[in-house]
Amino acid sequence: MTTFRGIEVVAVPLRNLIAEAVALGGGDLCAAGHDWESEGGRTCPKYEHANCSQTVFVCKRCGVHDYGYKGGPAHHECFSECKRDFSAEIAEDAAQAAESERITRERNDILAVERADES
């Protein structure tokens, strides 16, 4: 925090102040569309174990974030531009999960028999 003439002032980015002023005035700062810029990334929405990520965008004017919502730039990037196909990896994960589930069922059946024998 900064102090100005004895008053504590919170530093707020100018774009946030402009967006708030436009909203208070009844206007829509991004009526003609957002001004997107990349702000980082998140896990790939197509396949969580992929070695890639989906871009997270933020509007430079109003500060709204796009995390891959349909119709936004991140969704377009992943589902229209990215041609990666993860079907083989997804099938392999499903096979491993099924095998793990089978082993767990077998162990539970063995434990149930052992408990019944102890009774």
Query: Which string of DSSP letters, residue by residue, matches 36-58?
Result: EEEEEEEE-SS-TT-S-EEEEEE
pLDDT at 1: 60
**pLDDT tens digits, residue range 70-102?**
888 998 888 888 877 878 877 888 888 899 999
pTM above 0.75, yes or no: no
Judge whether residue 10 has pLDDT over 90.
no
The pair phi, psi for residue 82, each rounded to 5°, is: -75, 125
Is residue 75 exposed (0-12), middle (13-18) or buried (19+ Cβ within 10 Å)?
Answer: middle
Domain ranges of the chain: 2-84, 87-119
